[in-house]
Amino acid sequence: MAIRSEQSHQAILDATMRMLDADHPDSLTVQKLSIERIAREAGVSKTTIYRWWPSKAAVIIDTFLENHIARTPIREDIPALDALRVHIESLAQVYSGHEGRLIAQLVAECQYDSSTMEVFKDRFWRSRAAATRALIERAVDEGALRRDIDPEVIAELLYSPLYFRLLFAVGPLDEETLRQLMTGALNGVALPV
């Protein structure tokens, strides 16, 4: 990518994040944000945006992912069960703030727009699910988790409470609640020591 293109690309991501930032005086919801507004805020044409992204949802998801992956690591340098805990804890911390509200809005948007759902699954969900599955398989290989339970079921046991609390605002994603949720889920899938 040429320098000018890189600058435009980054300007689009930055403008999108600014407009979705709850602390920004002119912040918007995912539903109210438009390609036109992103283009105006970034100082680029709509054509420039469509050169890299097929839709508003794709721009928003890439904006979200730009910081999300680094803030919710799946570590390779520690035992898999510890890496799983670190990942879930970091995810809960990130989701308890602005990014949580953003992901909730994206999920809501997916319910009404099948193309947004496909972009969300393609750009975010599938890659994270594959990384999580690999981590769970590593935990199984290390003898920390049972082999007789499908790794996808284990992932659902761990992630579902986070998304439930995020989407329905039924309670906090605080440290103690998270510890109890993880202990409950992992007790059912861990190998006895």
Domain boundaries, the chain: 3-52, 59-189
Phi, psi (degrees; rounded to nearest 5) at 74: -115, 100
Q: Which residue has the tokens 């100082």?
A: 43
Digitized pLDDT (tens) for each residue of the chain, 193 residues in all: 566 688 999 999 999 999 988 776 667 888 889 999 999 999 999 999 999 998 898 999 999 888 888 888 899 999 999 999 999 999 988 888 888 888 888 888 888 888 889 988 988 888 889 999 999 999 999 999 999 989 999 999 888 988 898 888 888 778 888 888 888 888 877 766 6
Measured distance CA(179)–CA(59) in Å, rounded: 34
CATH architecture of 3-52: Orthogonal Bundle (1.10)
Measured distance CA(117)–CA(123) in Å, rounded: 10
CA-wise closest residue to 75 among 65, 67, 84: 84
Q: Kindly report the CATH number that applies to the domain delimited by 59-189.
A: 1.10.357.10
Q: Is 22 helix (H, G, I), strand (E, B) or coil?
A: coil
